[in-house]
Amino acid sequence: MSNAGKFAVKGSERAALKGARPIGPTNPHQLIEVSVILKHRQPLPTGRTIGNFMSHGEFRAEYGADPAHVDRMKQFAQENKLLLLERGDEALRRTITLAGTTSAMEKAFGIDLVDYENPEGSYRGRTGPIYVPQDCSFVRGVFGLDDRPVAKPHFRYRNTSRSFGTRASNNSYNPSQVARLYGFPEDLTGAGQVIGLIELGGGYRPADIQQYFQSQGLQPPLIQTASVDQAKNRPTTAQSADGEVMLDIEVAGSVAPGAQIAVYFAPNTDRGFQDALSMAVHDQLLKPGVISISWGGPESSWTAQLMQNFADVAQEAALLGITVIAASGDQGSSDGVDDGQNHVNFPASCPYVLATGGTRLLSVQGEITSETVWNDGAQGGASGGGYSVAFSRPSYQANIAGQQGRGVPDVSGDADPETGYNVLVDGQQEVVGGTSAVAPLWAGLLTLFNQKLGSRVGFINPQLYAAVQTENFNEITSGNNGAFTAGPGWNPACGLGSPKGTQLLQNVFGAPAQQQVQSSSQAQSGREVRTRG
């Protein structure tokens, strides 16, 4: 078909997965849903002081989608025999949901959809860019046409059959023990707060939740689930993504036992990931103050439109006073890409996200005796970290040494499965590690801060980098994640280090009215996606 005179959506170009084989056109009668992202009504504003964030109503009125653009998309749907599924939050989330047949979608967006066979499963895909009419150039992204899996969970079970020689350890911790080692405030529970968890697969069993928290001497948290794009809580076996879901719930719920937990289940697709963050950030029912993400993939595996639109929503979260946290990955400085180059994990590389790396934590009688970079080799896993090729360095990292891309991670915590967390997954007692554990650990800590301050800390990266490192973090000065070695100051193996919880609360957030959140104009250079990777 000819797309002459049409607008190619920026960054929407797709290529087939490596090793995928086309097996024929997608059934023209197959029903497909897509999410169309619209531009902000005007550029996002400068930052707000802590405790003085925007409300959702203010955001919608000032920076949500232009109603005229929403109306044009309704007309676009009619012109292309598509159904617009109204949710009522189109302007707030800048997201239009369209449904229709394969043939209608192909005509509407100037693409051809093909079914592919792939070693990890079949998927519906496309190549090249997505097109819309010239008068729809306000479209910033279209997600759902391609349904390939996009992310992997960043958790690892302890390998009981593998010998690590002198590194062998019988250490494992309950999450509350890790919290005590890191000096988390013990007089706080997170009461009145909500922690959001984004899950792209797996599920939990209520009986396991009850049993686990009772075994910890804790009241089980109130857990509420939200379905994103028809995904549900669907537990199967301990070897599935259930391990991720249970790890996230059990770590966050143990660290902040008084907080409620909202789990956003979404499909493992670009549409599912984008919609999950957008729905969590703009959820006015459950209202999470902190959102933890333990899923991701190398920057090179994402489209520029996904990274840019996801970063936009993370910036919206900052304006609304919501902290977004993401694990930095478990495959060291290569991030699992076999090309001899260094790679970082997305969404940890997003400059509006707090990226969490991993350490190996040893202790005796409640005191830390050693903390080094987590690196158990190519098979055992290592802390993800390095420099982004998609996002330039944000201003809060202006003083760090190294390359010019956004540096990852920002902070760290215990992640080595050999010094991992005691969890219960589908009735099985397991010891689990991975940077996946560090994201909910930090989510729990910041939830305690929110309770203490009576307001949300929101986007805290600028404050953390401005803090005196040795007073507020356990510096990680030993070990490497492959290409990058730990040392004094920030480093691409473990960032600023692991938290000294109470000191952070007192020193960084002791006078919240005077703490300034980074403005969107300051971070703008760090938000622009430069390449697809």
Two tokens at 229? 């794009």
Cα–Cα dist 357/439, whole Å:
9
Of 106, 147, 208, 248, catalytic: 248
CA atoms within 13 A on the CB side of 233: 14
Determine the Cα angle at 394 with ends 391 and 397, to 5°: 125
Encoding tokens for residue 265? 């289940």
* 436: annotated active-site residue: yes
The backbone torsions φ and ψ at residue 66, rounded to the nearest 5 degrees and listed phi first, read -65, 125
Choice among 328, 436, 455, 520 that is catalytic? 436
- Cβ-contact 233, 166 below 8 angstroms: no
Listed in sequence order, the DSSP H helices in 190-239 are 206-215
Chain-centroid distance, C-alpha 522: 22
At which residue do the structure tokens 């232009």 appear?
66
Catalytic: 89? no
Q: Active site residue: 33, 208, 244, 430, which one?
A: 244
User: What is each CA distance from 301 to 168, 269, 347, in whole angstroms?
Assistant: 34, 12, 11
Q: What element of type H or E holds 177?
A: helix 175-181
Q: Residues near 23 by Cβ (< 8 Å), separated by ≥ 6?
A: 114, 115, 116, 117, 122
Q: Is 227 a catalytic residue?
A: no
Tokens 């499963």 belong to residue: 121
Kindly state the tokens that stand for 153: 């969970």
**Residue 195, CA atoms < 13 Å, CB-side half-sphere:** 37
Q: Which two tokens stand for residue 225?
A: 């689930």
Angle subtended at Cα 273 by Cα 272 and Cα 279, rounded to the nearest 5 degrees: 85
> Strand 223-227 to strand 260-265: parallel, antiparallel, or no bridges (unpaired)?
parallel
Residues designated catalytic:
244, 248, 436
